[in-house]
């Protein structure tokens, strides 16, 4: 049923991508007079050594457009061939590329399930793509599969599902995702930004079963690298080829590539942190539940908790006055009275609880 050729935009299908100097000659040794760089060096690297940047270390040279060294390491960590990996300037770049590759402005539409991550809607609006909203079920925050399937029309190109979901924190049932994958001939995008904190596994193995599946992950959350701006998309090779065809040629800068290579060697540290954050989350969930003014602490598979109270703004302002900043989500659909709290360090979490105990 799924045919990539049928959902890709005509202009993208016909597009002849920009060919960079780095695409034409890929060798790492030589005298490079092909890209109008400053051959003398950069004010950053000394002593100057000629040649091509092996790991993005020489800032006078353009970076590797396909980030092959980084992908090689990620490939081992994720158990996925390099051809199935795209790297973007944050997941936000991958989201934007999906709209530009598959959605004809003013004609096509996408389905999102609020309350959810805000960038799907912003990116749709920037690209002048219609949005069909099928809210999650109230309180349980699960997919309304029946209404999602009913809402699909011939111009529906993408369905965004965030799992674990932001800002609710819960995962959505695999059976619902599976039903949608099997009954939709466009792309189903599963945003796994918080997967490292969840009690279940990534859907990466399902890429072999579903050619219309795209999985998004990021180094911004569990990996602790929000400042480097590295997002990942995993999908079939033909889909990844489309991503690479339309991305800016040098979308991940040399410094980020070099630093990520270093960071990916510290998986032990990251795994320790994840364990600690999950323990703290579960503890915080209990402690918050005991505060009299908190109506509900929602179950979470992420590194944050959503709480419901009577007067969210008053509590938000009280915490700001104590220089503790949380996120007011009370204006979002189905989130009346809700605030989102990121799990901090042990000390930060204790400070939050002590401050909350003094409220009112």
Ligand X SMILES: *Cc1c(COP(=O)(O)O)cnc(C)c1O
Q: Which chain residues interact with ligand X by CB under 6 A?
A: 90-92, 117, 162, 166, 191, 193, 218, 220-221, 226, 231
Closest separation in Å from C-beta 308 to ligand X: 20
CB-wise, 117 or 298, nearer to ligand X?
117
- The burial of 322, by beta-carbon neighbours within 10 Å (0-12 exposed, 13-18 middle, 19 or more buried), is given as middle
In whole angstroms, give the CA distance from residue 296 to residue 307: 6
Closest separation in Å from C-beta 221 to ligand X: 6
With tokens 């590539």, the residue in question is 257
Tell me the sheet residues that pair with 160.
189
What contacts 198, CB < 8 A, 6 or more positions away?
A: 164, 171, 301, 302
CB-wise, 28 or 201, nearer to ligand X?
201
Closest separation in Å from C-beta 325 to ligand X: 16
CB-wise, 8 or 93, nearer to ligand X?
93
3-state secondary structure of 273: helix
Closest separation in Å from C-beta 91 to ligand X: 3
Closest separation in Å from C-beta 122 to ligand X: 12
Q: What angle do CA 337, 342, 346 make, to 5 degrees?
A: 130
Nearest residue to ligand X, using CB?
90
Q: Which two tokens stand for residue 360?
A: 């009112």
CB-wise, 64 or 191, nearer to ligand X?
191
Q: Which two tokens stand for residue 158?
A: 């993408």
With tokens 């999906």, the residue in question is 98
CB-wise, 32 or 170, nearer to ligand X?
170
Within 13 Å, how many C-alpha atoms sit on residue 247's CB side?
Answer: 25
Q: Which two tokens stand for residue 227?
A: 């400042």
Residue 128 Rama label (left phi>0; alpha psi -120 to 50; beta):
left
Closest separation in Å from C-beta 228 to ligand X: 9
Closest separation in Å from C-beta 303 to ligand X: 10
CB-wise, 53 or 164, nearer to ligand X?
164
What contacts 149, CB < 8 A, 6 or more positions away?
A: 179, 180, 183, 184
CB-wise, 58 or 277, nearer to ligand X?
277
Count H helices, E strands: the chain? 13, 11
Cis upstream peptide for 26 (omega within 30°):
no
In whole angstroms, give the CA distance from residue 216 to residue 87: 10
Closest separation in Å from C-beta 76 to ligand X: 21
CB-wise, 91 or 300, nearer to ligand X?
91
């Amino acid at each position: 049923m799924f045919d990539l050729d049928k959902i890709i935009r005509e202009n993208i299908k016909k597009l002849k991508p920009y060919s960079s100097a780095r695409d034409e000659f890929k060798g790492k040794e030589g005298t490079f007079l092909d890209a109008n760089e400053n051959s003398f060096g950069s004010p950053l690297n000394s002593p100057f050594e000629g040649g091509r940047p092996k790991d993005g270390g020489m800032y006078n040279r353009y970076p590797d457009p396909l980030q092959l060294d980084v992908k090689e390491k990620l490939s081992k960590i994720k158990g996925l061939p390099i051809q199935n990996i795209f790297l973007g300037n944050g997941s936000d770049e991958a989201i934007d590329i999906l709209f530009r590759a598959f959605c004809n402005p003013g004609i096509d539409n996408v389905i999102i399930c609020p309350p959810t991550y805000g960038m799907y809607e912003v990116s749709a609006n920037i690209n002048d793509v219609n949005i069909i909203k099928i809210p999650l079920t109230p309180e349980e925050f699960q997919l309304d599969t029946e209404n999602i399937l009913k809402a699909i029309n011939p111009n529906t190109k993408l369905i965004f599902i965030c799992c674990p979901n932001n800002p609710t924190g819960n995962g959505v049932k695999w059976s619902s995702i599976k039903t949608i994958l099997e009954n939709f001939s466009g792309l189903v995008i599963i945003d796994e930004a918080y997967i490292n904190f969840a009690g279940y596994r990534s859907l990466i193995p399902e890429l072999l079963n579903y050619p219309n599946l795209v999985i998004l992950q990021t180094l911004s959350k569990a990996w602790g690298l929000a400042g480097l701006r590295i997002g990942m998309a995993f999908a079939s090779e033909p889909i990844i080829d489309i991503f690479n065809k339309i991305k800016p040629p040098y979308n991940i800068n040399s410094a980020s590539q070099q630093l990520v290579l270093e960071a990916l060697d510290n998986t032990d540290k990251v795994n320790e942190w994840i364990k600690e954050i999950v323990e703290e989350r579960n503890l915080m969930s209990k402690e918050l539940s005991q505060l009299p003014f908190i109506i509900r602490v929602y179950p979470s598979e992420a590194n944050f908790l959503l709480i419901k109270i009577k007067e969210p703004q008053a509590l938000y302002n009280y915490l700001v006055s104590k220089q503790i900043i949380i996120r007011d989500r009370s204006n979002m659909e189905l989130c009346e009275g809700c605030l989102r709290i990121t799990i901090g360090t042990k000390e930060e979490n204790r400070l939050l609880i002590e401050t909350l105990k003094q409220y009112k």
